[in-house]
């Protein structure tokens, strides 16, 4: 049972924008940096965002991340059909040591 809560699903039309929230607490998001992962159907997860808002090389700037207090947000602009995937946030949780926690996951559907 994850301690990071995400909406089960979000959807939008091609070209539109979606945001995915990741809600935690002071023991995880509140005191650590957040990363985000994209998992296309039938494939391994892929790093999208690290250190709250940094993109690895090769990740388009349509993907953005932010953090405020004990919540983080992933934004996807200019939505494309290829963006249909599950998205997970992740960070350390200091309430149990050691313990890395992932969010519950959000399915993005392009209408």
Partner 1 sequence: QVQLVQSGAEVKKPGASVKVSCKASGYTFTSYDINWVRQATGQGLEWMGWMNPNSGNTGYAQKFQGRVTITRNTSISTAYMELSSLRSEDTAVYYCARGYRRVRSYWFDPWGQGTLVTVSS
Binding stretches for partner 1 (CB under 8 A): 2, 31-33, 35, 37, 44-47, 50-51, 56, 88, 90-92, 96-105
| Distance in Å, CB of 17 to partner 1, minimum | 24
Residue 1 or 13 with smaller CB distance to partner 1: 1
For partner 1, give the closer residue by CB, 41 or 82: 41
DSSP three-state, residue 103: strand
The residue with tokens 């940094």 is 54
User: For 8, phi and psi rounded to 5 degrees?
Assistant: -60, -35
Q: Which is nearer to partner 1, 13 or 41 (CB)?
A: 41
In whole angstroms, the minimum distance from the beta carbon of 15 to partner 1 comes to: 28
Q: How many CA atoms lie within 13 A of 67 on its CB side?
A: 23
DSSP state of 56: P
């Amino acid at each position: 049972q994850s301690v990071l809560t995400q909406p089960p699903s979000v959807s939008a039309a091609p070209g539109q924008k979606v945001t995915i929230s990741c809600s935690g607490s002071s023991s995880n998001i509140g005191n650590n940096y957040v990363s985000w992962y994209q998992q296309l159907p039938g494939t391994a997860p892929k790093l999208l965002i690290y250190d709250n808002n940094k993109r690895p090389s090769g990740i388009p700037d349509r993907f953005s991340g932010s953090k405020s207090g004990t919540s983080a947000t992933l934004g996807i602009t200019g939505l494309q059909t290829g963006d249909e995937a599950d998205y997970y946030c992740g960070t350390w949780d200091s309430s149990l040591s050691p313990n890395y926690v992932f969010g519950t996951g959000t399915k993005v559907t392009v209408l």
